[in-house]
Amino acid sequence: MHKRIAGLSAQLRSCVYLIPFYTFLFTLKVFGLPKRGNILLACRKSNTLSYPLQYADEKPRDTEKRIEKTLKDISKLLPIETTYMLDEEIRKET
């Protein structure tokens, strides 16, 4: 899983530089492109997801919270949905 996530992160990072006129297209806000800096930060955060899912001194609930926070951070940096878990408000209803 580490190799797969790290590979996708590297692919995303490199693809940013393949889009012709990225800065111009970003300025137009036609395609909803994020800032290049946001993409690089999101790649860093996704790399943290590729590390061990649970640290030795971490409780399972803390692991879940850490991963969910990282996914939400990525979602704020990129215009994509990253969380497939229910939000706290919905959890309370069920």
Judge whether residue 93 has pLDDT over 60: no
Domain that holds residue 28: 1-91
Burial class of residue 50 in the structure, from the number of CB atoms within 10 Å of its CB (0-12 exposed, 13-18 middle, 19+ buried): middle
29-78, pLDDT tens digit by residue?
878 889 999 999 999 999 988 777 667 788 888 888 888 899 999 999 99
- Tens of pLDDT along 31-41? 888 999 999 99
Distances (CA, A) of 8 to 2, 11, 12, 14, 42: 10, 5, 6, 10, 11
